Structure 1
Amino acid sequence: MDGVVLSCEHGGNDVPPEYRDCFRGAEQALASHRGWDPGSLDLGTAFQRSTGAPLVTTTVTRLLVEPNRSIGHARLFSQYTRDLPTDAKREIVDRYYLPHRNRIQAEIDELRGIDRRVIHLGLHTFTPELDGEVRNAEIGLLYDPRRTNEKEFCAAWRARLIAFRPDLRVRLNYPYLGKADGLTTFLRKRYADDQYVGIELEVNQRLVAADDRWQTLIADLAQTFSAGIRTAVS
């Protein structure tokens, strides 16, 4: 469907062969939420099937380089890579960071070229507990409250979700703030509110499973998202 770009920044925990020495003994971290977003590629596939939109993904672990952080951010590199030489870190950015972000921008620009406002949906999952705090939601919708179109789209999507799936706790700008540093925040600096709607979907990893309930959930999320596209994209 024209006007939509999907992205998955944490689709896997792959370590490129040339950097495996950096991650010796890090198997537990790589398998955890620190290394990737379990279930996010499932979400991407479901939303692509529902919308027909391009899906841009990366399966390289976020512990190599964090594609959802800006250049210069303290957490761009993890404890496993931050002490690498400057040239090595520059190569990581060139090979595993910029291609993902550049492709998303290219997809947005292509749609903008036919005078479309673009809805960019980043697909993520979050750990049920962080630093001793249990997250009290199943679904989070992240946006910048200063951007009217993002705020209205997420409010309407939340209403549809609650009506369709009253068993789900759906919260806005939870468990993170949509205006914090990230890919959507970076893109908002390039595109005006009437050109770009940047939203992130966050799903509690407690729900991720290889069963019919998980497949039903992601289909419901995709369906309720798609229901709002025609009224949001002009």
Structure 2
Amino acid sequence: MTASDSHILAPGEQPAVAVANPGGTGPVVLVCEHASAAIPASLGGLGLSQADRLSHAVWDPGALDLATAMSERLHAPLVAGRVSRLVYDCNRPPDVPSAMPVRSETIDVPGNAALTPAQRAARTDAIYRPFQAALSAVLERHGGAVVTVHSFTPLWHGTRRDTEIGLLHDSDARLATAMMTNWSGPLKAELNAPYSATDGVTHTLAEHAIPRGRLNVMIEVRNDLLTDAAAVAEVAEQLCGALSRSLAQLATRCTGKQLTTGGAA
């Protein structure tokens, strides 16, 4: 099978998305777009070296563990990607180059270098559209805020990143700014770091939360803070505390406007 084949995923590799805790009735819907490093066999490893196959370019290390821990604490549904973001980045729309990048930081992606329109469409249909459909289905039955969970590398082009936890927003800053106000604990949170909406990283929020009027936030955690279960639990505890306090605070401020903060719809 080649990269031009419309059947990107073999039967044993399907589906492209997983929904954990689908019956959760907590205050949020969690999303982890970059949860997996899996590359379908049909794509021949995208031409990556073995050393690059588990790098941060391929997925968000620790993000799924964190999102799962938050799902358990908040009794919340979790929508997670099951395919590497280098195959298709589900936090990007189909018409941008970064949806199927030819380079990520210092890592070239030979398998993405000369994709035809048909090959791009095949990946979009196999990965992106099922992910979007699954997330939409969860949001149709659950009225919670949309919270996306990511991790980032401590070193970017050789420069150390001091940010520990980033709270990002798109056009609706309510939840991110409330979490900054309600933040407490040993780890430091920053607003719109190490990225912001101007970097094109808030597609899921813009596509699913903003049109529905949902409270929303994108969480970025430096991946060296997610290296074992104890560390993940510590980060999850701080994030869930700030989220819960902020959602309660925002709910009390609701005066006549619809403010969807949680629970099954």
1:200 pairs, out of 208, 218, 230, with: 218
Name the counterpart of 1:216.
Answer: 234
After superposition, what is the alpha-carbon deviation per residue over 1:138-167, rounded to whole angstroms, capped at 9, x for unaligned?
1000013x42xxx23222222332x3x1x3
Name the counterpart of 1:96.
Answer: 127
Does residue 132 in structure 1 map to residue 161 in structure 2? Answer: no
Instruction: Specify whether residues 188 and 121 from structure 1 end up closer, same or farther in structure 2 by C-alpha distance, changes over 3 A only.
Output: closer
Does residue 12 in structure 1 map to residue 36 in structure 2? Answer: yes
**Matched position secondary structure for 2:134:** helix
TM-score scaled by structure 1? Answer: 0.83
User: Identity of paired residues, percent?
Assistant: 25
- Aligned residue type for 1:184: L
Instruction: Specify whether residues 103 and 184 from structure 1 end up closer, same or farther in structure 2 by C-alpha distance, changes over 3 A only.
Output: same
Residues 216-225 or 199-208, more deviating? 216-225
Deviation of 1:3 after TM superposition, in Å, equals 4.6
After superposition, what is the alpha-carbon deviation per residue over 1:8-56, rounded to whole angstroms, capped at 9, x for unaligned?
0000110111112x52343333311110000101111111111212100
Whether the 8 Å CA contact 2:163–2:188 is kept in 1: the answer is yes
2:181 pairs, out of 138, 159, 170, with: 159
1:171 pairs, out of 190, 195, 201, with: 190
Whether the 8 Å CA contact 1:137–1:168 is kept in 2: the answer is no
**Matched position secondary structure for 2:98:** coil
Instruction: Specify whether residues 203 and 154 from structure 1 end up closer, same or farther in structure 2 by C-alpha distance, changes over 3 A only.
Output: same
- The number of residues matched between the two structures is 218
**Matched position secondary structure for 2:215:** strand
Structure 1 outlier segments of 4+, above 4 Å? none
Name the counterpart of 2:88.
Answer: 65
**Matched position secondary structure for 2:53:** helix
Unaligned runs of 5+ in 2: 1-24, 103-110, 251-260
Q: Supply the distance in 2 between the matched residues of 1:32 and 1:170 (Cα, whole angstroms).
A: 24
TM-score scaled by structure 2? Answer: 0.74
Q: Supply the distance in 2 between the matched residues of 1:179 and 1:199 (Cα, whole angstroms).
A: 15
Name the counterpart of 2:246.
Answer: 228
- Aligned residue type for 1:130: W
Name the counterpart of 2:206.
Answer: 185
